[in-house]
Chain A
Amino acid sequence: MAFDFFSLAVVTVVAFTGAALAGKLRQSVILGYLVAGVLLGELNRSYIAPTMGTDLVASPTVTSLADLGIAFLLFFVGLEFSVRKLKSAGKSSTVLALVDYATLIFAGFLLGAAFGWSPTDSLFLAGIIAMSSLGIAAKTLVDLKRLTRPETEVLLGSMVVENFLSMLLLTISLGYVVGRGSPYEIMQSVQGAAVIYGGFLALALFAMPRVARLIERVRNEEVFVLLALTLIFASAGLAISFGTPFVLGTFFIGMAFSETKLTERLQLKLSTFRDAFVAIFFVHFAMNIDFAILPSVLPLVLAAVGTVLVAEVLVLSSFGVLIGFRGGEAMAIGTATCGRGEDAIIYASLGSNLTRVEAGVTAPALAHSRELFPIAGGLALVTASLTPVLVRHSAGIARALARATPRSLAFGGRIVGAVFADSLGPRARRHDISRSDPLLLLLSVAFIAVLLPLAFSTGGLHSTLLPFGLLLALLIWREVRVDLGEVVPRVDFADLRFLVHDFGAVARYASGVVGILLLLAVLVAYTFAFSWQASVLCAVAALGAITVASARFHRSVLRPPSRMLAADLLSGTPRERGSRRAGERRAVQRRSLEDL
């Protein structure tokens, strides 16, 4: 078939118009591609395809150039995927990213279960919901001139970590889905995936430093570009020949180059290719969004938007407060991570294009593959345009939320925040995780290592892992409690206008909150395999337990236990003066607590 210049011209004209308009309206370019693509898709279905006999969406030329776009895009993502960058991400960024990701993946599976999706389909739904966009956040912060705010660094750092988690999820889930099917096929594709992963890992570790030095010596720019293209195309072909999606190949070859000096030269030389073909990819993606099936997916799209907003604005920002950020800062983190963009769209596109050969017939691997387009597209459209608004009003949202929160919970949150601010929060020093408490770090890593298989396994393994998860949660809780016993007396609660008279109570309360959250993680991971309703119940119960604990803690610090007063009375001063002074002190403390 001849090269379809007509379709290509229409697509590029529309892409150009969308990008230009987005630039004029100071919106992200992707938003422009999406809107333009959705409109073109409608026009294609209603007019172009029936009357002109050319279907833009199905055009092999457009489809293959869109594939080229995603191949280049994943190559560039791989180039940014350097372990050095991940290492520089700081403790609070890492913790925030892990909690955010875990929350959203859970919420995504919950949503999938509620709408009756299979676990495999839910995996893609959860990924789309979880993959927050660094690009949208960065653009928002630049436009709103928020780059010198105290939380900016941690916020961007956590999104880098989330990008890493996204790519991990993407590569693993692609391998996982392709790996299902007949036993023979499973063996074949699991072997294929293993060979691809192992091969590229070995390449990155052993061969790359030497190869990179050879390539660095290529002075001729044409030769250099051709060499780079050869490597990208060959990796894509290699991945296909091993039965895995081609993007895995381009991603891994990009990653292999990420630690070399060639990164910048490759970006400089190939970014034009990427920009051109990625535009086609995004427009083509948006053209797949069919308005006809919109009524049937609209509830799910709205639910996805709601889930993202609740998880980021409420859960992530609350967690930010728990590790010591102020309300406004934590909300700035929560609102800026609301945007869903290129990552989610790539994931949706890859998921919906996955095919499986069953009984000789090639079929989509996912039952809901057509619905992933409108979900990812709609989610990206809404959140990308909503994120700047939310970030601009983050201080107001934080204040409103603080007013709506029960006083004991808000007080407890700030106490826990003050306790963890130096170890996990904004004042945490870098690179001292292993030094501060190696045992705690080891336990935490083990906890995650048990939690992941617990969440995704069934049958015998599932119930075997449960006691291990509970045991590790218990051990971490005890370790945190011991550590906090030392930390709390050194914490400065002056910001809270709070006189601490019982360090033990503060340490017990803060470690108790940690313990409840750990227990919640284990129980959710365990119960989800049986019933998602039980998991929700666990979450509600945990929230209730924290509320009760906070209320009791709040009451106990408002009314110091009687033996404290007795100690004050026995401090050697004449009885009446002493008691009056103790009374005054109590009054002062009362007032300062009420100020909260």
Chain B
Amino acid sequence: MIPVSIVTGFLGSGKTTLISRLLRDPRFADTAVIVNEFGDIALDHELIASSDETLVQLATGCLCCAMRSDLATTLLELHRRRAAREISFARVLIETSGLADPAPILHALMTDAAVNERFAIGAVLTLVDALLGEQTLARHPEARRQVAFADRILFSKTDLGPVAGSLREAISALNAIAPTIETSPDPATLFVAGPRLPPDPAAHHGGGIGATTVVRTEPLPAAALTLWLQALAEHCGARLLRLKGLVDLVEMPDQPAVIHAVQHVIAPLDWLERWPSADRRTRIVLIGERIPRHFPARLLDAIISEVVQEMRGR
């Protein structure tokens, strides 16, 4: 599986500069880049020093609005050419337009069967301008959603000034689980994604967007997990921005299930070969807009109680 990562961030946050820098690093040279530009005159692809063969420009519209099928087509064409040994790459980066909502892009990656067979979602890296980020987050809902969807947050333009504490607080309120990076990033670790727990398992909320964590010490019946995910999709809909976690299932005691959802789109369960640490609790992180803080946990408990009752024959 070839990892596909998304580089997003508001207009002017430094996405193209970052990608250009990454591609100059020998450890990151084997990368195909899909650049989505939104405007009459596309320039970003001209600014990225890469092989023409592995740099694809999607400039007919905003990727999150109208070009989801174009993205799948582009990825599959890249894969075909790689299989035919016409080009070589080990990973794909998608640079979104500055106004893009990451959710539909993730949907496209998750729901196209042919893409799913060949590519795996890597990470969502969101750039935040260290100087202008606070005003941008305050004014633009697109920027808040980009932060909320992030697996990692990279502060850009830190050479021009330090990252203000108030900007850190604003980001933490939107997404308390994504680590922040403010030094020159190490390409090897920049796009590593994985379920993380916030340092404080209590919910964090800001501007209507918040993260909450569900932790369970007892294994869950698989049926309860399925019902819960379906009910979350039904009642939270687009308010559920992201959900990810490690789940201890009754049916698979030695292998944690990895769950991942973007809004109502639920990725197929994935399995780790073993628990990554001694902590074998179920840990699920949800980031959503105006979702009552205890709703996910209360719903899960109610469903588990009924499923367990059924399993015991009432």
- The answer to whether A and B come from one shared complex is no
Please list the residues of chain A having a beta carbon within 8 angstroms of any beta carbon in chain B: none
